[in-house]
Chains A and B, each alone.
Chain A
């Protein structure tokens, strides 16, 4: 149970898809002009991630990874099909998106009207494929955890796009330097938000307590913390600079 809680918060805040790994940036930037559309896209991402990550986990576990075909019989134990994972994952995602679209249209026209236009967009959203690829490279242990990972990364993405959409609605009334308007200021705002999210980094290690994930991580965290402290000062001055301009 504890590992579920840990993974949940870790995926939302520490490994936030947008701020830590830059997944799904294209739609994040393109569809964040209004809060209502951002909510629609965010909900669709949560939905599709929660469906595709567990599905791809099953594929990975029983088809792709080294020795995964053992259930077919001992002579298949040597096969390693992991080089096929890109093509299988993307095929699953494209199919699922199509399927979800059909099902939603049939059973819930209201939901379809709000999600509908975003669903085709999502097949090529890096956040979805990225979720599956990270699930594979981070060696998620069980189907439940895979579902949890998909759901919580989706929620993290949702929060990110919601926040930036709200900020962009406000920024419209500010006096931004002309060449920075639109895209430029959105990038810089996202950068500052990412710095803010880095402060969640120490959440799971619990300060002085010995961290669980091996030494490499410790070093990184303490380095990051140092940098975050510097960063906070920088952020304040940066913020002021922006406000002054």
Chain B
């Protein structure tokens, strides 16, 4: 961390835990839940958001002095939409199957509240380097949660990780399946994503009592 001063390092580290965009700030939930049935999709989504946030925050922060405040929302939307189109086209060109799985949720990065939230709250008021760090930090905090959810849903739901059969073959009855283990297909369905996030919040807030909120 010699490169970064302590204050700058906090910009990255805070959103990873105590100021996490998903579990604390409640931003960007939609995509976090919808595409996490597989670990691979979660990772791709996390990387896409990392790219959009990092670049977007820099662009907005560079333009922060020339954007009239009345039309700032639409300027922000155009910047994000452009970046998302780039991500979408790259995915379609190099990972077509995956882009089918993600379907409309790549497009929905545009309305991912984390991005607009960070633009409004940080990039419009801070310098380029700090905005970049803030973008990376928040996107990473989002990505961490996404990967955790994806990990558990894929492991418990289909017994695989990134497509590898880590628990053995359910048809040939090898590995864990030999002793009667069954996949919980329910984990693959959308409601379980909500419950997994609920449990993550539970664990996080039990460890850090300061985060507990009023009922």
Contact = CB atoms under 8 A, between A and B. Distances in A.
Nearest to B111: A126
A112 to B, nearest CB: 19
A130 B108 contact: yes
Given A124-B116, A180-B201, A190 B108 contact: no
B104 interface: yes
Name which of A85, A126, A134, A174 has the most chain B CB atoms within 10 A of its CB.
A126
Interface stretch (B9-17, B84-92, B173-181): B84-92
Which among B78, B82, B111, B185 has the greatest number of chain A C-beta atoms within 10 A? B111
B34 A129 contact: no
A223 B183 CA distance: 14
B26 A26 contact: yes
Given A134-B104, A227-B189, A191 B195 contact: yes
Contact of A198 (B28, B104, B113, B191): B191
Contacts of A191: 191-195, 198
B28 A26 contact: yes
Contacts of A195: 191
Contacts, number: 155
A97 B19 CA distance: 31
A177 B198 contact: no
A192 B111 CA distance: 26
Given A22-B29, A30-B26, A87-B85, A94 B77 contact: yes
Interface in B76-113: 77-78, 81-82, 84-85, 88-89, 103-104, 107-108, 110-113
Q: Is the interface of B mostly helix, strand, loop or mixed?
A: helix
A5 B76 CA distance: 38
A130 B197 contact: no
A133 B108 CA distance: 8
Determine the interface band of chain B, counting residues with CB < 8 A from chain A.
35 or more
Contacts of A172: 215
Interface string A139-176: 00000000000000000000000000000000110101
Contacts of A22: 29-31, 33-34, 190, 193
A129 B85 contact: no
Contacts of A223: 185
Interface in B198-215: 198-199, 201-206, 209, 211-215
A179 B212 contact: yes
B73 interface: yes
B205 A25 contact: no
B107 A177 contact: no
Given A23-B108, A134-B104, A187 B205 contact: no
Nearest to A130: B108
B21 to A, nearest CB: 10
B29 A87 contact: no
A109 B73 CA distance: 24
B205 A184 contact: yes
Interface in A79-100: 83-87, 89-91, 94
Nearest to A94: B74
A21 B34 contact: yes
A134 B105 CA distance: 10
Contacts of B112: 126
Interface string B104-137: 1001101111001000000000000000000000
Contacts of B26: 26, 29-30, 183
Among B23, B193, B213, chain A packs the most CB atoms within 10 A around the CB of B213
Contacts of B189: 198, 224, 227
B77 A91 contact: yes
A206 B175 CA distance: 40
A178 interface: yes
15 contacts: A23-B30, A26-B29, A83-B89, A86-B84, A89-B107, A90-B78, A90-B111, A129-B110, A179-B204, A181-B213, A181-B215, A184-B205, A187-B195, A190-B194, A194-B194
Given A123-B73, A124-B77, A182-B215, 10 more contacts: A22-B31, A85-B107, A124-B113, A126-B113, A179-B204, A179-B205, A183-B23, A191-B198, A224-B189, A231-B191
For the complex of A and B, 10 pairs with smallest distance between CB atoms: A191-B194, A179-B205, A187-B198, A194-B191, A182-B213, A25-B29, A188-B198, A133-B104, A191-B195, A87-B81
